[in-house]
């Protein structure tokens, strides 16, 4: 009996439903009789028992069944990868590149670049997928996006993905002008002891970098707020003594923004370096649209 992807999914569904055929059938929207017939036909034609039984009910996998389950998972995953790859290649041929970017990076770095790029190149569409760093890494590994702009370190396999630095900055402290620490020319991390701080949520590389730094310094800092929103955390400092630990806004418009809302930015004497990188899968040969888009990101990235 030749197993196809649908039948492998039948088998996986049965195992994942703890051998409950009724539940498995509901989960994959087929009839229970279809699953029963699949088991009967397979075991008969292959002369191979996949399941232990008691009083006609499935009670467990045989060693052969366990081996098939492991292989079935691998094959179905690879089939899904192949399907996603073909979908991605079709999008590229049609002039669409799906690029994953976190909301904060999109807002800080790409408000001008992406719209301008698409106006100048009407035959190419950049489809933006917004998510945090961790989610975007998963999407890249699963071939659901063509490329991603990420915080470094990315945790991507270095032999499977290219990585190009787009911007280098650092994590700084944003605070109210009347905060006592604004009197310091530069901060050291111990100055944050017993201070309330805000930083990005888990899933952002910045969160890991900040938490690791505080742990290394044995800091008594109190992390009060984590959020996906750079603006929210910065603006939260305007009415309280909260300190926001976030990537620096190295753009004139953001310095104007800080002045307008009344927020001071202080640098550390031992800063956390924040690196923004463009990542995409390694290929022997890139489609002309891919090459043009990726080159444009790396060469024309805004100051």
Helices and strands (H and E) in the chain: how many: 11, 11
> Can you list the pairs that 17-26 forms with residues at least 24 positions away whose Cβ atoms lie under 8 Å?
19/51, 19/57, 19/58, 19/59, 19/60, 21/58
Among 160, 126, 159, 124, which Cα is nearest to 140's? 160
Work out the angle at residue 111's Cα, subtended by the Cα atoms of residues 198 and 134, and round it to the nearest 5 degrees. Answer: 50
Residue 182 is given by DSSP the state: G
SS3 (DSSP) at 1: coil
Residue 204 is given by DSSP the state: S
CB-CB contact of 171 with 274 (8 Å): yes
Sign of the dihedral defined by the CA atoms of residues 147, 148, 153, 155, in that order:
negative
Work out the angle at residue 134's Cα, subtended by the Cα atoms of residues 76 and 266, and round it to the nearest 5 degrees. Answer: 175
Whole-number pLDDT of residue 300: 65
164 membership: H or E segment, kind and range = strand 161-175
Q: How far apart are CA 143 and CA 241, in angstroms?
A: 44
State how far the alpha carbon of 35 is from the alpha carbons of 31, 58, 66, 271, in Å.
7, 12, 18, 59
Q: How far apart are CA 134 and CA 138, in angstroms?
A: 6
CB-CB contact of 132 with 182 (8 Å): no
pTM exceeds 0.75, yes or no = no
Cα dihedral 26/30/32/35 (nearest 10): -120
Tens of pLDDT along the chain (303 residues)? Answer: 677 888 888 889 999 999 898 898 898 888 988 888 888 888 888 888 989 988 888 889 999 989 999 998 988 888 877 776 676 666 565 668 889 998 878 877 788 888 988 898 888 888 899 998 889 999 999 888 999 999 888 889 989 999 998 888 899 999 999 999 999 999 999 999 999 999 999 888 889 899 999 999 998 999 999 998 888 999 999 988 999 999 887 666 677 778 888 899 999 999 999 888 999 999 888 888 888 888 888 876 644
Tokens encoding 263: 């927020």
Domains contained in the chain, CATH given: 5-81 (1.10.10.10), 90-167+276-299 (3.40.190.10), 168-275 (3.40.190.290)
φ/ψ of residue 9, rounded to 5: -70, -35
Whole-number pLDDT of residue 110: 83
Q: How far apart are CA 272 and CA 210, in angstroms?
A: 8
Whole-number pLDDT of residue 7: 86
Whole-number pLDDT of residue 175: 93
Q: How far apart are CA 52 and CA 65, in angstroms?
A: 9
Q: Where does 176-262 show beta strands of DSSP type E? A: 196-200, 222-227, 243-247
End-to-end CA distance of the chain: 61
Among 60, 81, 57, which Cα is nearest to 143's? 81
At a CB cut-off of 8 Å and minimum separation 6, what does 36 contact?
A: 21
Q: How far apart are CA 222 and CA 234, in angstroms?
A: 17
At a CB cut-off of 8 Å and minimum separation 6, what does 114 contact?
A: 126, 128
Residue 170 exposed, middle or buried by CB count within 10 Å (0-12, 13-18, 19+): middle
């Amino acid at each position: 009996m030749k197993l196809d992807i649908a039948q492998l999914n039948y088998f996986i569904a049965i195992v994942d439903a703890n051998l409950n055929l009724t539940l498995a059938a509901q989960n994959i929207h087929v009839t229970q009789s279809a699953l029963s017939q699949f088991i009967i036909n397979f075991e008969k034609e292959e002369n191979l028992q996949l399941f232990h039984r008691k009083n006609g009910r499935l009670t467990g996998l045989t060693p052969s069944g366990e081996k098939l389950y492991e292989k079935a998972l691998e094959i179905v995953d690879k089939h899904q990868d192949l399907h996603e790859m073909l979908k991605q290649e079709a999008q590229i041929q049609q002039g669409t590149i799906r690029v994953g970017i976190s909301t904060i990076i999109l807002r800080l770095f790409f408000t001008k670049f992406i719209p301008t790029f698409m106006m100048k190149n009407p035959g190419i569409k950049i489809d933006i997928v917004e998510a945090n760093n961790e989610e975007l890494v998963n999407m890249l590994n699963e071939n659901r996006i063509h490329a991603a702009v990420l915080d470094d370190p990315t945790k991507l396999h270095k032999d499977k993905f290219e990585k190009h630095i787009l911007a280098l900055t650092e994590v700084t402290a944003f605070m109210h002008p009347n905060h006592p620490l604004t009197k310091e020319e530069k901060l050291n991390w111990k100055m944050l002891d017993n201070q309330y701080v805000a930083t990005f949520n888990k899933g952002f590389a910045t969160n890991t970098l900040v938490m690791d730094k505080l742990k290394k310094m044995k800091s008594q800092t109190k992390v009060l707020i984590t959020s996906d929103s750079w603006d929210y955390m910065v603006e939260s400092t305007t009415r309280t003594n909260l300190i926001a630990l976030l990537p620096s806004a190295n753009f004139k418009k953001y310095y104007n923004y800080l002045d307008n809302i009344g927020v001071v930015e202080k640098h550390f004497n031992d800063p956390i370096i924040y690196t923004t990188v463009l990542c995409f899968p390694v290929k022997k040969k890139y489609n002309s649209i891919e090459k043009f888009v990726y080159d444009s990101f790396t060469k024309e990235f805004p100051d």
